[in-house]
């Protein structure tokens, strides 16, 4: 036994010396435990390789009352085009939503629901913008210096200010039936605009923003007429089954403060980015006439860099019934 161990030991040592001369292949856990450098060996920027615009990653920002779930069907459709996409819940939305106590009590006490202060009233547009820019940095870690930044509806407020703050991180801006406010305006200015007269979202509101600090609706309403009106306003082209599911995903409160924040954009920063607007022609929340006003005002601010306009024959929420068409349009924008 003792005679046999020596050659095995020498043979084993030789094999280990040979292995040591080869490039190491480690798992992340192995590296963390055994080979953490005291200084970074390279930076994220140094590791990135230039990549074709056709494979640019997307950051998808949802709208009011929604969450990252809004892009559930769009993300795999973008993947089929070769694009990675990141969507996260904004503050006060999705898993970050918080609800007034009166919302949980059924039958609903309408008076209590109309007066209870919102637990998300303190959320600001800056909170949204900070969150979007963190998500942009996460997407850039996939290997690109810049991303395609997409905003739906209220998400347009957030992506506008994110682009003004960090234009160097954004390859293209895409507004999907979204607020695209010009310099010095507020989101509320457009909600009340003559171009949006006849919109169908306002009648669904169940409280004064001054009293609650939020735009408040009841997506779990027991009233069939209210639910039908919500479907007509938000997603008239969705199936009844999809709309029922959406009703259990929507929040009830959207912070009012971001809509009251003044937007400050410049032609030199936001206005210099490649800008796309996807008009939803059957939109009953931001009417097509208002969408056109957004485009006209943006082009007036940056006349040398006009908005590229695309259209979808859809409701305000095309990601439900027309996710494939949304992804096709976004992929074409990335390639263009």
Instruction: Answer yes or no: pTM beyond 0.95.
Output: no
Write down the domain spans for the chain.
53-335
How do residues 20-34 score in pLDDT, each as one tens digit? 444 333 333 333 333
**pLDDT of res. 9:** 42
State the Cα–Cα distance between residues 117 and 99, nearest whole angstrom.
Answer: 10
How do residues 208-255 score in pLDDT, each as one tens digit? 999 999 999 999 999 999 999 999 999 999 999 999 999 999 999 999
**pLDDT of res. 142:** 87
Answer yes or no: CATH 1.10.10.10 is held by domain 53-335: no
Task: For residue 143, give every residue at least 6 positions away whose Cβ sits within 8 Å of its Cβ, in sequence order, or none.
Answer: 47, 48, 49, 51
Percent above pLDDT 90 for the chain:
83
**pLDDT of res. 19:** 37
Q: Is the pLDDT of residue 50 over 70?
A: no
Average pLDDT over all residues of the chain: 88
State the Cα–Cα distance between residues 306 and 6, nearest whole angstrom.
Answer: 79
**pLDDT of res. 24:** 38
State the Cα–Cα distance between residues 120 and 252, nearest whole angstrom.
Answer: 11
How do residues 158-174 score in pLDDT, each as one tens digit? 999 999 999 999 999 99
74 phi and psi, to 5 degrees?
-80, -40
């Amino acid at each position: 036994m003792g005679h046999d161990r020596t050659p095995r030991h020498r043979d084993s040592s030789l094999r280990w010396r040979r292995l040591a001369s080869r490039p190491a292949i480690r798992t992340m856990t192995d590296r963390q435990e055994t080979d953490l450098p005291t200084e970074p060996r390279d930076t994220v920027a140094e590791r990135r390789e230039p990549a074709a615009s056709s494979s640019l990653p997307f950051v998808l920002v949802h709208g009011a009352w929604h969450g990252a779930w809004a892009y559930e069907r769009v993300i795999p459709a973008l993947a089929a085009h070769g694009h990675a996409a990141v969507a996260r819940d904004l503050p006060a939305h999705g898993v970050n939503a918080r609800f007034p106590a009166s919302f949980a009590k059924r039958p609903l006490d309408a008076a209590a629901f109309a007066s209870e202060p919102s637990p998300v009233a303190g959320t600001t547009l800056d909170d949204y913008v900070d969150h979007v820019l963190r998500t942009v940095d996460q997407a850039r870690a996939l290997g690109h210096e810049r991303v395609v930044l997409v905003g739906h509806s209220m998400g347009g407020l957030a992506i506008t200010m994110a682009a003004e703050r960090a234009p160097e991180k954004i390859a293209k801006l895409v507004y999907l039936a979204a607020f695209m406010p010009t310099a010095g305006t507020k989101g509320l200015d457009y909600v009340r605009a003559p171009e949006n007269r006849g919109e169908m979202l306002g009648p669904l509101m169940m409280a004064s923003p001054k009293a609650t600090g939020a735009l408040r609706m009841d997506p779990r309403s027991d009233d069939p007429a209210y639910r039908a009106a919500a479907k007509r306003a938000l997603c008239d082209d969705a199936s009844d089954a999809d709309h029922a599911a959406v009703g259990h995903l929507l929040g009830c409160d959207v912070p009012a403060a971001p809509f009251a924040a003044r937007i400050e954009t410049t032609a030199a920063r936001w206005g210099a980015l490649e800008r796309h607007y996807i008009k939803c022609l059957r939109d009953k929340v931001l009417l097509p006439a208002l969408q056109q006003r957004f485009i006209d005002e943006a082009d007036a601010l940056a006349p040398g860099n006009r908005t590229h306009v695309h259209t979808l024959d859809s409701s305000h929420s095309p990601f439900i019934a027309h996710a494939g068409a949304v992804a096709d349009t976004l992929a074409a924008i990335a390639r263009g």
